[in-house]
Amino acid sequence: MAAGENTQQPPHPLGFATIKTTQAIVSEEQSHRECQDVIEFQNLKRQHAKLLKILETKLRGEIEELRVKSEKEYNQEVVQFTKDLDGLRCRQAKEMDELKRYKANEEKKFICNAKETNAKELKRYIHELEAEYKRNKEDTKKELSSKHLSSKERDEKLKLAKERLHSEAKIKEDRKKKQLDMNSTEDLCLLQRKHLLMSQKRELDMLNHEIAEQKQGLNKNHGLLINQLTTFYLVKQRHLGIMQKRKQEYMEKELSEEMTNYKNYCERRRRDLKKKHSHEIKQHPRNLKQQQANIRKLYKHQYNTQNKQYKTYVEEIMAKTPKDQVKEKLEQIKEEQNRKFSLLYEHYKTNVEAVYQQQNFKLNSTQQMEQDQLNEDLEKQMRLLYQSHANRKQQQAETFLRENEQLEAERKQRFKDLDLRILTECEDFEKNSQARLERLKDEQSEHLEKFDKECFDKYNISIGQNKANNRLSKFNLGLTTSNSPISISTYSSGLGNGQEN
């Protein structure tokens, strides 16, 4: 709207009309622009806060997903380790069962072999006793024949001698039976003791193997926890970097927008003051009016020239173009003419405004002071704004540094707690493993002492390690399980029935 013109507003509801001056309208437009800049800046800050909230929620979801995935992976590892350990124990139990059956068969073979050996030895010894009996009987007959005895006396003494020889042979035979039975029983006890020691050694090896597997699984779980915690804090560090970078970008954008708004505000203030000063001048210089008149004259001349050219061009088109295409062609020419006229009018306005802006006005002392005061105030506010921006950037940098330090301190504390947990679990595992080994050794030692005591109490057999090694060197048997001592009697029907410990 041109300066000095009045704008009439719609009628008042009560019938009154309100008239605003151009200065009032310009002031309202300026206030509206300033309010619009503030609103846009506040909307920008709200949009940034909303985007940061969305990003934070997304990153928190990724952290939660990583935590759930890590827990699931660790639980699966623990379950798999438990399955492997159960499988190992099942294989060990199966192996012990197979060894127990194999041992029982070996002891049955040993009892049968001992029975056959004792029977042969006893049969051979009986033959020797019979031969000795015959020799002694012949010697007795010769001795009685050399004596001058009656036939009746000789027969009686021969009968007594036979009875004595039979009695001695019976005693020797019983002694031989007892000796064979004792030797077989002692050999069986020694064999069972050797089997018991072998079984105990195998049990100890199995326990050591199980402990080694548990130790390996524990170390694997600890390594998994360390890797998961390392990955967790690498992700958190990356997320923190993303958040800080996004916050920095948003702050720079906000500061840039705020600075742009303030610069626009300064330009408006200076422009308004310049217009105010120009309007205070009562008369414009003559050369300014002459330049504006020349521009208007030139514009009218160009406008009339283009209008004449347009009419001539339309007549030519009407003559050359078919009737069915005339209307479309005229519309195209009309659009082109309107476009050129618009460009010409814009060029005219630009030239007039340039002449008006380029004109140097001579300000009085009051106007100069007003302009200097405005520049000073704007520069002061600009320095305050720069200082405010610098403070905000410094506060943001300090906040970022504090967040990084807090994350690093949290990471160190978590790793310290994990190291303490690993150390505690390893110490507890070593204590439990050592206790299991000592308990097994104590049980085995007690079992061995009980076995030796039972052999001594039941059969009066004293078994020592050296004696067992010497006596069992003749047995070429494999690893067997232990049975309780069994008394072997050559003429007993209960051979081979052992009582298992």
Query: CA–CA separation, 429 vs 466, rounded Å?
Result: 37
pLDDT, residue 393, reads 93
Percent of the chain at pLDDT exceeding 70: 81
For residue 232, which of 66, 74, 443, 424 has the smallest C-alpha distance? 66
Length of the chain: 501
The HSE-up count of residue 466 (CA atoms within 13 Å, CB side) is 0
**pLDDT tens-digit map of 325-354:** 777 777 887 888 788 778 877 777 777 777
For residue 488, which of 50, 286, 85, 186 has the smallest C-alpha distance? 186
| Axis crossing angle, helix 286-320 with helix 323-358, rounded to the nearest 10 | 170
For residue 95, which of 4, 186, 210 has the smallest C-alpha distance? 210
Q: Is the pLDDT score of 3 beyond 70? A: no
Contact 327, 264 (CB under 8 A): no
**pLDDT tens-digit map of 47-58:** 989 999 999 999
- CB under 8 Å, gap of 24 or more: what pairs does 37-41 form? 37/261, 37/264, 37/265, 38/261, 40/257, 41/254, 41/257, 41/258, 41/261
Query: CA–CA separation, 260 vs 40, rounded Å?
Result: 12
Q: Using DSSP, how many helices (H) and how many strands (E) does the chain show?
A: 6, 2
Amino acid in position 162: K
Query: CA–CA separation, 214 vs 201, rounded Å?
Result: 20
Query: CA–CA separation, 104 vs 186, rounded Å?
Result: 18
Query: CA–CA separation, 339 vs 480, rounded Å?
Result: 113
Cβ-in-10-Å burial (0-12, 13-18, 19+) of 121 comes to: middle
Q: Is the pLDDT score of 422 beyond 80? A: yes
For residue 231, which of 33, 411, 103 has the smallest C-alpha distance? 411
Of 7 and 204, which is predicted with more confidence? 204
> Confidence class of residue 489 from pLDDT cuts 50, 70 and 90?
very low
Tokens of 491: 């003429």
Average the pLDDT over 441-457 and give the result: 86
Cβ-in-10-Å burial (0-12, 13-18, 19+) of 487 comes to: middle
Q: For residue 139, which phi and psi values (nearest 5 degrees)?
A: -65, -40
> Strand 19-20 to strand 7-8: parallel, antiparallel, or no bridges (unpaired)?
antiparallel
pLDDT, residue 368, reads 84
Average the pLDDT over 443-453 and give the result: 87
pLDDT, residue 303, reads 79
User: What is the overall mean pLDDT for the chain?
Assistant: 80
Average the pLDDT over 413-441 and give the result: 94
Amino acid in position 403: E
Average the pLDDT over 315-321 and give the result: 79
Tokens of 293: 């008149």
Q: Which of 22-31, 42-51, 104-113, 479-488 has the lowest mean pLDDT?
A: 479-488
